[in-house]
Each structure stands twice: as C-alpha cells, then as structure tokens.
Amino acid sequence: MLIQLLTAVGVLAVLTMVPGPDMAVVTKRAVASGWQDGLRTVGGITAGLLVWGVLAVAGLAAVLAASATAYTVVKLAGAGYLVLLGVQALLQSRRNRSQEPAAALTPPRGNPWRTGLVSNVLNPKIAVFYTGLLPTLAPTGLPAHSGMALLVLVHAMLTAVWLGGYVLLLSKARAFFEKPAVRRGMDRATGTVLIGFGLKVATTQP
C-alpha cells in the first residue's frame, strides 16, 4: 500500500505543478495586492478542492461528470468567470495607463478568498479528475471512500504548498512588479491568459 500511496502522491504532485487557471488567478492577485491576498486566494482554491473532494466521496461529482447538461452548465459558468477576471485585468491595465504611479497600485476589488474558491468550484474538470483518476490511484489497502478522501487531502495540501510557495516567490520581486509599466504588462498578460483559459474551458469536453 505504501508504494501505491507514494506513486499517487508523485502523480498528484506533477499534476499540481502544471500551470492552469488557478495559477493565473493567484498570479493576478499576488502581483496586484501582495502576498497576503495571494495566500488568501490560495486558501480559497484549496477550499474549492475540498468542496470537490467532499462531492466526489459522496458520489455527487460523478453525477456531474456523467451528466452532459450539468457539466455544460458548470463549464460555461466557470469559463464566464475566468473571462470576467481576464477582462477586469485588461481594463485595469488600460486605466493604469493614464493614472499616476501611486494610483496604478490600487488592488483589485473583491474578496481574494472568494475569488479563489469560486474559480475552483466552477471548474468542472476537477469533478472529472476526482471521479476519473483518483479512484485508480487510491491505495487498495483502504476502503474506497477512505482512499479517495486521503488523496483529496493530499492534493489539497500539495496545492496549498505549491501555490503558497509560488506566492512567496513572487513577493520577493514585489518591488519590480510594482513598477507601473511592469504592472500594466502583467495585467495584460494575466488578463489574456485568463481569457484564454476561459475559452479553453468553454470548448473542452468531459
């Protein structure tokens, strides 16, 4: 069972480090508002994973993954939210272009924890991931529900550590990112990436 668990942790670690919408949302928040808001966003994302984990263990995520209509509704809601965040970032870069440097440092609106939570809960790919892949990684020496719950906790912890470390790394270069020209460039880049992820989510199939 130990070998199976270590293998599962390795797979989850690799998947966690692959850049995706969560990293784009965290980047936008950490660069704009600082490491505290960045970590709060990470906390919201981690909470979103736990929500999906509870649903997966309860079997509700499998229903979503199997229902084309339910999947499409959540998918379009999540895609729309990512596009909204991206458009906000692009608009912020345009506003900052004509503002004084101090005004360019105005943090984005909205609760960072809620932003992380909503962006993750509205990602139906997590439901597919938890119901499709996690059962194949769960240690056979544990009851099915216990094995799934353990891997969900592991994935949540890996995500918190990885994204939290990423936020702290960004904070080391905060002085660089606070430069108005750099901020505008980051807003444009993250806005474009978020819109791109939103469009990708909207066009992907379960």
Average pLDDT for runs of 10 along the chain of length 206: 85 87 89 90 96 87 77 84 86 65 56 93 85 82 85 95 94 77 81 86 75
pLDDT at 162: 95
Report helix, strand or coil for 20: coil
Dihedral (C-alpha) 149, 198, 167, 91: value to the nearest 10 degrees?
Answer: -150
pLDDT at 50: 95
pLDDT at 33: 84
pLDDT at 71: 80
Give, in degrees to the nearest 5, the angle at Cα 165 between 122 and 125. Answer: 20
How many other CB atoms are found less than 10 A from the CB of residue 13?
15
In the structure encoding, which two tokens stand for residue 111, read together? Answer: 């609760």
Nearest to 46 by CA among 180, 201, 158, 147: 158
> What stretch of H or E contains 115?
helix 112-121
